[in-house]
Amino acid sequence: MMDASESSCCPCAPVSGAPPCTCTGDAPAGGVIHTTDSTITFAHHLDHFLARRGVNRMGHRVGPGLYQLGTPMPDSPVFASANYTLSFDALRSALTGLDGYILVLDTKGINVWCAAGKGTFGTEELIHRIETTGLASIVTHRKIIVPQLGAPGISAHEVQRRSGFRVGYGPVRATDLPEYLKTGEATPAMRRVQFPVLDRFVLAPVELVHVALPALIAAAILWFLAGPVAALAAITAVVTGTVIFPVLLPFIPTQDFSTKGLILGGVVAIPFAVAFGTVPSLPGWAAVACVVIPLIIIPAVIAYLALNFTGSTTFTSRTGVKKEIFRYVPVMTCMAVFGIILGILLGAGRLMGMI
Q: Are residues 168 and 269 in the same domain?
A: no
Q: Which of 193, 226, 256 is the last residue of a domain?
A: 193
Give me the pLDDT at residue 69, please.
94
Residue at a domain's end among 146, 177, 193: 193
Query: Which CATH number do you get for residue 175?
Result: 3.40.50.11600
Structure confidence at residue 317 as a pLDDT band (50, 70, 90): low
138-185, pLDDT tens digit by residue?
999 999 999 998 888 999 999 999 999 999 999 988 888 999 898 888
CB atoms within 10 A of CB 3: 10
Residue numbers of the domain that contains 66: 4-193
Q: Give the pLDDT confidence score for residue 15 in this predicted structure.
A: 40
Q: What are phi and psi of 25, to 5 degrees?
A: -90, -5
Same domain, 65 and 49: yes
pLDDT at residue 314 greater than cutoff 90: no
pLDDT of residue 4: 29
301 and 167 in a common domain: no
pLDDT at 93: 93
pLDDT score for 281: 67
Same domain, 344 and 215: yes
| Contact between 282 and 290 (Cβ < 8 Å) | yes
CB 80 within 8 A of CB 145: yes
Residues 60 and 148 reside in one and the same domain: yes
β-pairing, 78-82 with 100-105?
A: parallel
Phi, psi (deg, nearest 5) at residue 34: -95, 160
pLDDT for 224-263, tens place per residue?
888 899 999 999 999 999 999 988 988 998 888 999 999 9
Same domain, 14 and 75: yes
Residues 131 and 277 in one domain: no
Residues 157 and 65 in one domain: yes
Average pLDDT of the residues in 322-350:
88
Q: What is the pLDDT of residues 254-284, one digit of tens each?
A: 888 999 999 999 999 999 999 887 776 677 7
The mean pLDDT of 9-32, rounded to a whole number, is: 44
> What is the per-residue pLDDT for 259?
93
Domains in the chain, number:
2
